A and B are shown apart, each in its own frame.
Chain A
């Protein structure tokens, strides 16, 4: 099934918007970690930890799921396919991995926010949450690069599909409109 060009463009726009938004939301999360790590003011540190929870829960997580969903839908509705090109497969694997790690990490984010709500806990030495956020940011640069440059390379499945298409329908769908 191949979507019509207008629908394809619309889906691509949505996919770019949510995936770039995901990176931006992680950027905001990293920014909140800066005062959490370097500030000496207890209230500033506490506020930073309290804000990390809604940024992760209502910003990063929905955008990550939307990125995964729109990416899969888009690939299934274009000649690129989901498993025909290495760059699509790697993008899918990295995005899925980042989403799973993010969801598993939500528990820690909630616990840090819960601790920050306790006025008797000094959060200045909590150490921040830079490790996962910077790791996630770096990981998401991989699908970004792959989606922008679309490096060549057919998977075995893609190659077989291409051979079959060449025999049955003339020019391969894989080499057709790549939008």
Chain B
């Protein structure tokens, strides 16, 4: 109320349409990427002759992928 009086009693403009469309688009793209990421298994997958070597040195995604493949 105090703000409105200070601003002369006018109404702030509504959010523009382009902003709503953009936010909706971002939401759709983020959801699509999350789904793709989940379907891909969360990151790079490694296997081959060196599989399992030096796993203790590597962490997070790659380490987890190596361990998963090693167990599989």
Contacts and interface: CB of A to CB of B under 8 A. Distances in A.
B7 A160 contact: yes
Given A108-B61, A111-B60, A135-B33, A126 B46 contact: yes
B63 to A, nearest CB: 7
A62 interface: no
B40 interface: yes
Interface residues of A, number: 33
A121 B53 contact: yes
B22 interface: yes
Interface residues of B, number: 36
A107 to B, nearest CB: 6
Interface string B46-60: 111111011001111
Given A111-B61, A131-B40, A163-B7, A122 B49 contact: yes
Interface in A121-179: 121-129, 131, 135, 138, 142, 151-154, 156, 159-160, 163-164, 167
Interface in B29-68: 29, 33, 36-37, 40, 43-51, 53-54, 57-63
A16 interface: no
A153 B46 contact: no
A50 interface: no
B24 interface: no
A124 B48 contact: yes
Contacts of B57: 114
Contact of B44 (A86, A128, A163, A167): A128
B26 A111 contact: no
Nearest to A108: B61
A60 interface: no
Given A111-B59, A120-B53, A142-B22, A156 B48 contact: no
A115 interface: yes
A51 interface: no
A121 B55 CA distance: 11
15 contacts: A90-B19, A90-B22, A108-B43, A115-B50, A115-B58, A118-B54, A120-B49, A121-B53, A125-B47, A126-B46, A127-B43, A127-B44, A152-B16, A164-B6, A164-B7
